[in-house]
């Protein structure tokens, strides 16, 4: 049964959301009560499919390390950006997406106004102090009408929320432990990124930030 909007969040408060754009909603601290469960799920995912630093098509090593779960996983190498059904490191299917993660993403999307959303891919990024993610668009998915749901855990990070051209000056948003950002509709193809992560120590994750982004890729 599809989860009912908001019911999975112990501290759900739709009125506490921040609308950043026409299709973008930020839910502050919504995952705080589920963080340890989510971190445990990430550890189980990373056992068969460890975090790794991918290579861009231009030959650069990404500073962020990542892994995936779900029916599809995101990959980058000299051949380009794409989704694959298997992990190239072991030629096995990517770990299944835990129902906890899929249900939380579905509920957050519904609270942001995107009903009937069910992700089939989850990209998990691990940031260490000094790592960053340059401005980019999420456009490798087959149908961009579906939103992206992003979970933040661990150290706070400065999120760059840009326009539809790389040259557009981005807004700066602080994303903290437990925050959920949902963007879709007219905002789905905006450029976005993360400034270099500052030094710090988080009680649950230490000197790192974990970001999970859920997509309907297939």
Reduce the DSSP state of residue 51 to 3 states and report it.
coil
pLDDT of residue 5: 45
- One CATH from 2.60.40.1260, 3.40.50.300, 2.60.120.590, 3.40.50.1980 for 16-215: 2.60.120.590
How far apart are alpha carbons 38 and 34 in whole angstroms? Answer: 6
Which residues sit opposite 52 in a β-bridge? 66
pLDDT of residue 4: 38
Give this prediction's pTM. Answer: 0.91
pLDDT of residue 3: 37
How far apart are alpha carbons 54 and 32 in whole angstroms? Answer: 29
Domain edges within the chain: 16-215
Question: What single-letter DSSP state applies at residue 176?
Answer: -
pLDDT of residue 8: 53
Contact (CB, 8 A) for 95 and 44: yes
Chunked mean pLDDT (size 10), the chain, 218 residues: 43 67 95 97 98 95 97 95 96 98 98 96 98 94 95 98 95 96 96 97 97 96
Q: Where are the beta strands (DSSP E) in the chain?
A: 18-21, 24-27, 52-55, 61-70, 73-77, 80-84, 86-87, 92-93, 121-127, 133-136, 148-154, 157-161, 171-175, 180-183, 192-194, 209-215
């Amino acid at each position: 049964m599809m989860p009912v909007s908001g019911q999975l969040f112990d501290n759900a408060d739709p009125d506490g959301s921040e609308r950043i754009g026409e299709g973008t909603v930020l839910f502050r601290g919504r995952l705080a009560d589920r963080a340890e469960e989510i971190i445990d799920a990430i550890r189980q995912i990373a056992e068969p499919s460890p975090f790794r630093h991918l290579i861009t098509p231009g030959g650069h090593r990404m500073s962020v390390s990542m892994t995936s779960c779900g029916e599809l996983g995101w990959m980058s190498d000299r051949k380009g950006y794409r989704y694959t059904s298997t992990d190239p490191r072991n030629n096995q299917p990517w770990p299944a997406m835990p129902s906890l993660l899929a249900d939380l993403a579905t509920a957050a999307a519904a609270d942001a106004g995107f009903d009937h959303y069910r992700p089939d891919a989850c990209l998990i990024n691990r940031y260490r102090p000094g790592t960053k993610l340059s401005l980019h668009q999420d456009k490798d998915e087959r149908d961009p009408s579906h939103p992206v749901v992003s979970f933040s855990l661990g150290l706070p990070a400065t999120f760059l929320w840009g326009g539809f051209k790389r040259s557009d000056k981005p807004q700066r948003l602080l994303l903290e432990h437990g925050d959920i950002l949902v963007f879709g509709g007219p905002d789905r193809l905006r450029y976005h990124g993360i400034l270099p992560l500052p030094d710090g120590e988080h009680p649950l994750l230490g000197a790192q930030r974990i970001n999970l982004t859920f997509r309907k890729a297939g």
